[in-house]
Structure 1
């Protein structure tokens, strides 16, 4: 079967999915094809190796027919703003510029583990205004203009990153502004941050690590603290009339054991003299008294953990 696209005919199409309007959403290929995007020539996956690689949706498209992503038959190298990178999976903007790259694209099964995939990963280096990051990277996210937007680390990796509030041990990844200044990081351990309302330990016990686009510790472009997530503190706010409002991490039943509880961290944002809690309540630090206190829970209520760092 052939498929007519704005990049020419694709041969050996074995499976097609379409948008509700009939436009092609993605396809799986069984023959070799070459797709040219800008200066790059890409060969989408067309052979199932049966062990490590996923074999589905070789090419996907935006509704206007532009290529959205390509799973490559073999690892290729591409030129980016941070140099030449090896990739097995590429996601594009509709403009044709590279949006995301994944140096590896293996499937994790009982026959191919995360450790097996990690061993294949190459060390990559990135130079930012705040320092150099070197290590094994799961994915790199770019702005449409070509600059790096975020780096996602392998789960077992930890990096020391120089942030506007000092050196922080980071897990999962970081994101940057277009000028390269640090935007967000995910602290690997509870880390005390001096905030406009006092010291708070930044740590998100629910951080997922799927990507590093959004993290729990956020900075403004000028380096000022913008937001943090904490599983270890609560805040008590008293207004001029003496009314007390308390915000603290909440508890919800664990999906696998309803008799145990998971912690939903507290999100605190800072904007000059204003503080926003959980994206809703806003307080003026000049008109209220704000006190930061510790948040603890009965360990018997917690879901199983290797330690109690997430709960204090």
Structure 2
């Protein structure tokens, strides 16, 4: 099939691959010639022609079952209007109402010939002026609510910024997420960060964080700015309950870079409804009304646990 008639976008031509839903409606296509797609954010041209060193292969255009555009890989970087102003995009995904869901300023294919550093070098810093802070950074992607408000921001791993949080000014890597009203929902600490919790100060830091997207992060707040959960590799918890004492701390496991080096595996602590949950290989639930908990430093964030600090982030 080289041509397809769509209800919302008219005829599409030069189709080299066509995928349908079970009812025969279009699900996605690839092209070898230009097409123009009229969207709520402007006229867009999906990627077409043979792949090259950087371009991704696969479907350039995808649809929801109702025929509305779901995602588009663009032939070239295109300026689109968002709630943050005009932004350049190489890939956009949409909600079914036509509003932007995710926007990617770059969409290169990372492989043995085109590296993450090559893609990062192409990235241009974007200036932001948000309720949580003003900064400039190179961005991997932006996620929006259906209302158009910014939902999360994901940065390149080389980037760090500073944000205002309920725990003061914090350094952030990878990114953060916001509530629809612009208040901070979560962030990924760039350094071990002291956080105020119902059991006192706990050092938050996740050495295993990856930053694929930052919809969810190590430190999570409620809409009113109260800590909901955090990940720590630095603190152990001394728990005194009516039936006795127990001590829970991050488990030591082989490192990913060097299996011969044991490093602390971060554990998740969740606070909810007068209880605390500790997530490791199993879940431990503690009643904060009847137990006394002390956070004890077991891995000093100022000290490294191995010798090769240049290639390790295990302890911050």
TM-score scaled to structure 2, two decimals?
A: 0.87
Question: Residue 39 of structure 1: CA displacement?
Answer: 5.0
Unaligned runs of 5+ in 1: none
Give the deviation of 1:309 after TM superposition: 6.1
Q: CA deviation at 1:252?
A: 4.9
- How much has 1:148 moved relative to structure 2? 0.3
Q: Work out which of the residue numbers 220, 223, 227 in structure 1 matches 2:222.
A: 220
| Per-residue deviation, residues 284-311 of structure 1 (Å, max 9, x unmatched) | 32210112223459xxx98976477634
In 2, Cα distance between equivalents of 1:166 and 1:84 = 30
Deviations 1:151-183 (A, max 9, x none): 111110111112110111110001100000111
Q: How does 1:18-37 map to 2 (within 5 A)?
A: 18-19=20-21, 22-37=24-39
Given that 1:128 and 1:181 are in contact with CA atoms closer than 8 Å, whether structure 2 keeps it comes out as no
In the alignment, is the contact (CA less than 8 A) between 1:161 and 1:170 conserved in 2? yes
- Structure 2 residue runs without a partner (length 5+): none
What aligned pairs does 1:233-252 form with structure 2 within 5 A after superposition? Answer: 233-242=235-244, 244-252=245-253
Residue 279 of structure 2: aligned partner: 278
Matches within 5 A, 1:24-173: 24-38=26-40, 40-48=42-50, 50-173=52-175
Q: Deviations over 1:251-303 (max 9, x none)?
A: 55567876665643211122363322229543232210112223459xxx989
Tell me, yes or no, if the aligned pair for 2:233 and 2:267 is still in contact at 8 Å: yes
Equivalent-residue separation in structure 1 for 2:60 and 2:214 (angstroms) = 25
Provide the residue aligned with 1:288 in structure 2.
291
Residues 70-105 of structure 1: CA distance to partner in whole angstroms, max 9, x if unpaired? 000111111111100011100001111100001111
Counterpart CA distance in 1 for 2:167 and 2:285 is 24
Tell me the distance in 1 between the aligned counterparts of 2:133 and 2:259.
44
Distance (whole Å) between structure 1 residues aligned to residue 307 and residue 259 of structure 2:
9
Q: Does 1:199 align with 2:195?
A: no
Which is further off, 258-267 or 108-117?
258-267
CA RMSD between the two structures: 2.8
Instruction: Check whether the contact 1:78–1:87 (CA below 8 A) recurs between aligned residues.
Output: yes
Q: How many residues get paired?
A: 309
SS in 2 for 1:105: coil
- Corresponding residue number in structure 2 for 1:3: 4
Are the counterparts in 1 of residues 188 and 219 from structure 2 also a CA contact under 8 Å?
yes
Q: Cα 1:17–1:246, aligned 2, differ >3 Å: closer, same or farther?
A: farther
TM-score w.r.t. the length of structure 1 is 0.88
Match of 1:310 in 2: 314
Structure 2 CA distance for aligned equivalents of residues 92 and 308 of structure 1: 37
Q: 2:78 aligns to what SS in structure 1?
A: strand
Measure the CA separation in 2 of the matches of 1:166 and 1:19. Answer: 50
For 1:75 and 1:308, the matched residues in 2 are separated by 35
CA–CA separation in structure 1 for the residues paired with 2:145 and 2:178 = 10
